[in-house]
Amino acid sequence: MQWNRYLLARQAGLLVGLIYFFINTVGLPLGLTYTTLLAPLFYIWVILKRKTDILLPFMGLLLPFIVAHILLVDVEIQKYAIAIFNILAVYIFGQAFYTWLRFDAGKEQVFRKVLLINTVLCLIAIVSYFTPLSYIFWIQQNLTDKVDQFLRLKLFTYEASYYAMLFTPLFSFYFLRYVLRLNRGNSAVLLFMLFMPFVLSFSIGVILCLVAGGLFTFLVHFRSLHSKRRVVNGFVTFGFVTVTLFVLGFIFFRNNPVFLRLENIFLGKDTSTMGRTEEAFILAKKLLEEKSWYWGIGPGQLSLTGADIIRSYYLYSFHTPVAIPNAAAETLALFGWIGFIVRLLVQVVLFFVTKVWTNYYRLLLFFFIFLYQFMGSYITNAAEYVIWILAFTNAFPEFNVTRKNKEVLK
């Protein structure tokens, strides 16, 4: 009986993992996910598993903002209540994911199956690229100035950058296993499986933050890593291949979308990059001027307070949905400077309390998501909180900075 319960729990974990990664938004309105709809079940499971309530501490953190928004900001109650319930649902999913990391010994098996299925779907997507069915796996976007109708891989998600963000924990996990010589099987095949999604999704923001996160991780552990042949060879090989491809591409394919977008980003003409970074904070500050610099405009109020400001700024039509595509800037807009400071303070405190630097995997993910929150995402993005939780939880001690891992890199 106990073995059957173990197998059932293992299969349930895999099922939720597949739902989260592949079909979490399929057939649902924008902003709603199946993991949000399953929040009541997750809540019951966490209570039974951990024998403690998880909502009271979080509600205690939210309560001052709720009181201030209702009494001082004058929010529209119905939209506000829906937004708060959505935030609570995402929080419950995060607690369920944290609980799964703590109690499930088969986490790596779930990661492996998701990676394999993702690879198969990517290969199918490549074939579909040349057919009328490409819309199933690809999204057509105006990539940058002078580059429109560009297809980027999204699989079954709603957007290519979101898909790339979903894939980041898997990429980091198996890439570090490769670097630390913990992987089994053909390394060339593994690297193909890891890099293919990023190449096809072409999410510059995710790629840049991941590269920066890897560089910062290397610098933090420079003393133990710079003399390790595998790490140095990996950096040299990656750098040589990147520079070679860049030079050849610049000489022979100067007008391709990659170089056009990089040129536009460098010149400050890339609308996507500007909208997710500098302009997001400009809009957040404009919204704060309408309500409260300290408490923000309140969750669920963008379509009311922010609609006219955002549409007039971008010259959108009346029916265009409005959003601030930057988690840090959205926090500033909805919860004011107090909420923004609390957000950063929690991240810094947890970094030191959980000793993130003692694990390569956690440190890489922390640097990545800390940077990316200023370049994309949104405050109810479950994919972002999954990465934060992985960074603050020692779920994979195989990546701990131990003498064994240091020696294996030689």
How many alpha carbons fall within 13 Å on the CB side of residue 382? 28
Q: Residue 179: what pLDDT?
A: 83
Identify the CA nearest to 101 among candidates 181, 44, 16: 16
Helical (H) or strand (E) element with 139? strand 138-141
Does the pLDDT at position 340 exceed 80?
Answer: yes
Find the mean pLDDT for residues 328-352: 95
Between 262 and 140, where is the model more confident? Answer: 140
Tell me the average pLDDT of the chain.
Answer: 84
Between 217 and 261, where is the model more confident? Answer: 217
Q: Residue 305: what pLDDT?
A: 76
Does the pLDDT at position 318 exceed 70?
Answer: no
* Residue 114 pLDDT level (bands cut at 50, 70, 90): very high
Question: pLDDT of 277-306, one tens digit each?
Answer: 778 888 889 889 888 899 999 998 888 877
Amino acid at 16: V
The count of other CB atoms within 10 Å of the CB of residue 117 is: 13
What is the Cα–Cα distance from 164 to 85, expressed in whole angstroms?
A: 27
* Residue 141 pLDDT level (bands cut at 50, 70, 90): confident
* Residue 180 pLDDT level (bands cut at 50, 70, 90): confident
Phi, psi of 359 (to 5 degrees): -140, 125
What is the Cα–Cα distance from 26 to 32, expressed in whole angstroms?
A: 10
- Say how many Å lie between the first and final Cα of the chain, rounded: 46
Question: pLDDT of 19-54, one tens digit each?
Answer: 999 999 888 887 789 999 999 999 999 999 988 889
Q: Residue 47: what pLDDT?
A: 93
What is the Cα–Cα distance from 409 to 85, expressed in whole angstroms?
A: 47
What is the Cα–Cα distance from 29 to 65, expressed in whole angstroms?
A: 27
What is the Cα–Cα distance from 370 to 329, expressed in whole angstroms?
A: 13
Q: Residue 3: what pLDDT?
A: 45
What is the Cα–Cα distance from 332 to 281, expressed in whole angstroms?
A: 8
Q: Residue 395: what pLDDT?
A: 93
What is the Cα–Cα distance from 155 to 377, expressed in whole angstroms?
A: 18
With contact defined as beta carbons under 8 Å apart, do 22 and 155 qualify?
A: yes
What the block records as the tokens of 340 is: 């923004």
Between 234 and 304, where is the model more confident? Answer: 304
Find the mean pLDDT for residues 248-263: 58
Does the pLDDT at position 353 exceed 80?
Answer: yes
Least confident of 1-15, 99-113, 318-332, 374-388: 1-15
Does the pLDDT at position 356 exceed 70?
Answer: yes
Does the pLDDT at position 363 exceed 60?
Answer: yes
Helical (H) or strand (E) element with 141? strand 138-141
Identify the CA nearest to 211 among candidates 221, 219, 222, 200: 219
Identify the CA nearest to 390 among candidates 357, 371, 363, 358: 363
With contact defined as beta carbons under 8 Å apart, do 129 and 139 qualify?
A: no
Question: pLDDT of 181-220, one tens digit each?
Answer: 887 777 889 888 998 998 888 888 888 899 899 889 988 8
How many alpha carbons fall within 13 Å on the CB side of residue 28? 16
What is the Cα–Cα distance from 241 to 243, expressed in whole angstroms?
A: 6
Q: 160 pairs with which residues across the strands?
A: none
What the block records as the tokens of 344 is: 């950063």
Least confident of 238-242, 337-341, 383-387: 238-242
Output the DSSP codes for 54-91. SHHHHHHHHHHHHHHIIIII---HHHHHHHHHHHHHHH
Q: Residue 263: what pLDDT?
A: 61
Helical (H) or strand (E) element with 218? helix 204-220
Q: Residue 280: what pLDDT?
A: 85
Where residue 112 falls (left for φ over 0; alpha for ψ -120 to 50; beta otherwise) is alpha
Q: CA-CA distances (angstroms) from residue 336 to 231, 235, 284?
A: 43, 41, 9
* Percent above pLDDT 90 for the chain: 46
Does the pLDDT at position 8 exceed 70?
Answer: no
Question: pLDDT of 61-93, one tens digit each?
Answer: 999 999 999 998 888 999 999 999 999 999 999
Between 338 and 270, where is the model more confident? Answer: 338
Q: Residue 81: what pLDDT?
A: 94
Between 241 and 150, where is the model more confident? Answer: 150
With contact defined as beta carbons under 8 Å apart, do 137 and 154 qualify?
A: yes
Between 154 and 202, where is the model more confident? Answer: 154
- DSSP helix/strand/coil, 391: helix
* Residue 143 pLDDT level (bands cut at 50, 70, 90): low
